[in-house]
Amino acid sequence: MADKVIEFRNVSFSYGKQPAIDKATFSIEKGDFVGMIGPNGSGKTTVVKLMLGLLKPDSGSITVFGKEIAGFHDWQRVGYVPQKATNFDQNFPASVFEVACMGRVSKAGLMRQLAQSDRDAVEQALEVAGISNLRDSRIGDLSGGQQQRVFIARALASEPDLLILDEPTVGVDQKAQHNFYLLLGQLNKKLGMTLILVSHDVGIVAKNAGKLACVNMNVTMHDTARGIDDALLCAYGADIGRVPHHHD
């Protein structure tokens, strides 16, 4: 039996009187590459915030790496790249290496100076993200795709077992997107990292992820190889015709 990285059991959450998630029960296992889809307002961001412990469920329970989330403290095992990671001051005077070092803080601690082992981990993260050659560049001088890789490296610097990405390619050109998804595939297949990718691009998700988490007040898991049409019906509540298209 595979290890469960994330498990929701009858989880409900409301913003005041407005329900967002209703009795969601699902699990994500070690080594999964899960694409999370659903229309605007369906609850995708709420599910992610519940996974990260940023929101507390009104009812039900959540476990992270087998531990109840309220008592889980090993957050360095979880890397997170938010939707607007690259939406920052372009004049921010920090190098690629310095930004990536920020991902080491959760492991090293705020008050401890980075040791050589920490710096080595950052260098390794830059190498995995394919941007070692940019380590001394100012982040504001990079392209959108390069900047996104810097924030991936920042997340990787903590050596996570789970990486959650919320709409990571917004504002990134198609060529950079293609290379970005190749990187995610390598992280999943070569390093065995568990990935959760939130995206509106159903075609990209179906092509790259092994499972789909369809969110629309609830969460239903589907296998992408067989369940794309069922997943669309579940997530969007309608029979949607798909037009073949390519991103390469």
Q: Which of 30, 76, 29, 22 is nearest to 50 (CA)?
A: 22
Domain count, the chain: 1
CATH number at residue 229: 3.40.50.300
pLDDT score, position 246: 44
Q: Phi and psi for 6 in degrees, rounded to 5?
A: -130, 135
Residue 107 has pLDDT above 70, yes or no: no
Query: CA-CA distances (angstroms) from residue 55 to 70, 92, 235?
Result: 11, 30, 22
| Domain membership flag for residue 245 | no
| Domain membership flag for residue 247 | no
Residue 67's domain spans which residues? 4-236
| Domain membership flag for residue 248 | no
Structure pTM? 0.82
| Domain membership flag for residue 241 | no
Average pLDDT over residues 145-160: 88
| Domain membership flag for residue 243 | no
